[in-house]
Amino acid sequence: MVKINGVEKDAVGMTISQYLKTTDYDLKFIAVERNEEIVPKSQFDETIIQNGDVIEVVSFVGGG
């Protein structure tokens, strides 16, 4: 199991891109951190989620 935004998920073996396709995130406005390191968007297709990973997906929201 992995923890994504504090919730245990069964996403082991998926790439970050594959996982994100199962969500409603707008890829233009997110950042992904895996085990306290930012994952560049260029690596979403090749970064495989491993058992025990802690992932945070952060959405950027405009405002004033």
Kindly give the confidence (pLDDT) of every residue in the chain, 64 residues in length, as a single tens digit, with 9 standing for 90 and above. 999 999 999 999 999 999 999 999 999 999 999 999 999 999 999 999 999 999 999 998 777 6
Contacts of 12 (CB under 8 A, 6+ apart): 1, 2, 49, 50, 51
Domain residue ranges in the chain: 2-59
Measure the N-to-C terminal CA separation of the chain; round to a whole number of Å: 38
Per CATH, domain 2-59 is 3.40.50.620: no
